[in-house]
Amino acid sequence: MRTKIFATSRMQGIAAKTGGPLENNPSDIVRAEFRKYLFKGYQKDIDDIPISELGVDSLAFMEIVIRLDEDFGIVIPIDKLDNEVTVRDIIGFLEG
């Protein structure tokens, strides 16, 4: 329930930052948070690219994980992740 409440309250702000509307689900929130670290014109699908190749270093990754937890109640199991993890892998952990 916490995820839905926070996600709903922040959807407009995220949509404005990412340039488009978001669905009210954790997958879109995760994608939006990672997209913040990409240059503005990046249009490719990021789901299957390792986060290290997206330019997200370990510090930025931890900032994303903490922000997802604190702002949206989305908990990422960091003990199961490594440098080759993709956004799709992270979403897979959330979907169970």
Spatial CA neighbour of 46 closest among 62, 57, 30: 30
Q: What are the sequence ranges of the domains in the chain?
A: 2-95
Give me the helix-helix angle, 26-35 and 87-95, nearest 10°: 160
Which pTM was predicted?
Answer: 0.66
> For residue 23, what pLDDT is reported?
52
> For residue 8, what pLDDT is reported?
36
Amino acid at position 49, single letter: I
> For residue 22, what pLDDT is reported?
46
CATH topology of domain 2-95: 1.10.1200
- Each residue's pLDDT, cut to its tens digit, for the chain (96 residues) gives 343 333 333 444 444 444 444 456 889 998 988 888 886 667 788 899 988 888 888 888 889 889 889 988 888 887 877 768 899 988 888 777
Which backbone phi and psi does 86 adopt, to 5 degrees? -110, 170
> For residue 66, what pLDDT is reported?
92
Partnered with residue 50 across adjacent β-strands are 86
